[in-house]
Amino acid sequence: MHSVIIKPVNKLSGTICIPGDKSISHRAVILGSLAKGTTRITGFLESEDCMRTVEIFRQLGVDIAVSGNEAVITSNGLHGLKEPKGDLYAGNSGTTMRLMLGVLAGQKFTSRITGDDSLCKRPMKRVTEPLRRMGAKITGRVKNYDEYAPFTISEGQLSQKKRPPSLIPSAQVKSAILLAGLYAKGKTSVFEHFKSRDHTERMLKYFGVNLDIEEEGEGCGVSIEGGSRLKAKDIVIPGDISSAAFFIVAASCLEGSEITIKNVGVNPTRTGIIDVMKRMKADIKLKNEKIISGEPRADIIVKSSRLQGTTIEPGEIPRLIDEIPIIAVAAAFAQGKTTIKGVSELKVKESNRLMAIRDIFHYFGIRLNDYSSKRLVIPGGQNTKPKTFPGSLCNSLGDHRIAMTGIIMGLMAKGETIVYDTDCINTSFPNFIEILKKMTPKGTIKVEK
């Protein structure tokens, strides 16, 4: 178990490249494993979470070779998976667990999937319930009216009921149902009241699957025909905007900063962080915009600015759910209060991120005006200007985004900060520390056991 020691800096500068998008990397492995032929992935994120998905498909008989940021998948197609010899292990990856439930629900064999202690405490009824309505046979642990891993999935006959499920705005839930829909009889439809990230839909279309997509106000419905075949294709993955968010906020807050982040995914369902930061008067520009493999990407240029408080509404949360911890840091440095509504989903992430945000602010001497299961109110401008709050000792709670948030706050403190239990960063951003060292003076960041 490692800790990171951080000394404060005056600014960030330089040009960096962010590793491949985690969400897209998972989906590239999943759909590549269901597409007959050879799929070559460039820009693959070789993180712990994504490698859990790779290992599971290897257990299911798919040939996958990974070397750095490249992966080559050779598959027998949609019905080519084989019964695994042992348990499938998702580690700490909620994406792996939830999306694989959709894939496994359509197989003609029995499988069992589990995860680490943290993942086995995360609620899964939101996925298992709509899958069961399709005919899936899934058995898990039931506690307090919800359901938890490990799960046993037996052969079922999937078909879509007349009434499509109405979902909480979750890309993982939507994706699990669409993946199961590939194996279902007839057409499978899902509807969200607020549109969540659409990487699965984009990639299904890229692999040759026809989808019916209907947008209704802020909501969106998606339909897929059972038995649709995927055609293997090469795919290039952009940099992860959720990883870029830490540098976007740091550069915005530290006076005199100017950075360029190359080739970052700017899918409209993921750019909530950019929209909110611009609303807070951040100096952010996009250049070299283009679409490759069905996903938009661009270079992001960030300069320091005087941030202003804002209000984030519930309908915006699906587009920035993973970035809320670091957005809270931007809010602390802004003038005027920031209110973030509709944040209850943060309680069931890798940690209870609502509590983690409150605790990490407390470590640095920052009090939240309001903390509840429904909203966060961050005062802003109250003893939170760079170099005016003390360094601290922080615990990551085993949550990669909380660990990185603590490290970024340490750069802005007036004394040394230590963040404990930082190995969890490897689940999404293995070279986070190396990139940060390139943007800061020598000796700013130190890793110790």
Catalytic residue IDs: 322
Closest CA to 211 of 219, 223, 226, 202: 223
d(CA 254, CA 199): 32
Lay out the sheet containing 70-75: strands in order across: 63-67, 70-75, 37-42, 235-236
SS3 assignment, position 352: coil
Tracing tokens 């007036």 back to the chain, one arrives at 414
Are 412 and 254 spatial neighbours (Cβ–Cβ below 8 Å)?
yes
Rounded CA separation 353/321 (Å): 11
Phi-psi region at 35: left, alpha or beta (left = phi > 0; alpha = psi -120 to 50): beta
- HEC per residue, 58-97: HHCCCEEEEECCEEEEEECCCCCCCCCCCCEECCCCHHHH
Residue in this structure with the two tokens 């390139």, named with its chain if needed: 438
Query: Distance (Å, rounded) from C-alpha 39 to C-alpha 31?
Result: 9
Separation in Å, CA 144 to CA 121, 141, 147, 148: 12, 10, 8, 10
What CA–CA distance (Å, rounded) separates 322 from 349? 9
Distance, CA of 446 to CA of 234 (rounded, Å): 39
- Determine the Cα–Cα distance for residues 126 and 148; give it in Å rounded to an integer: 11
Q: Which two tokens stand for residue 437?
A: 């060292």
H helix or E strand, kind and range, residue 140: strand 137-143
Distance CA 105, CA 62 (A): 18
> For the packed helices 22-34 and 241-253, what is the interaxial angle rounded to 10 degrees?
170
DSSP state of 168: -
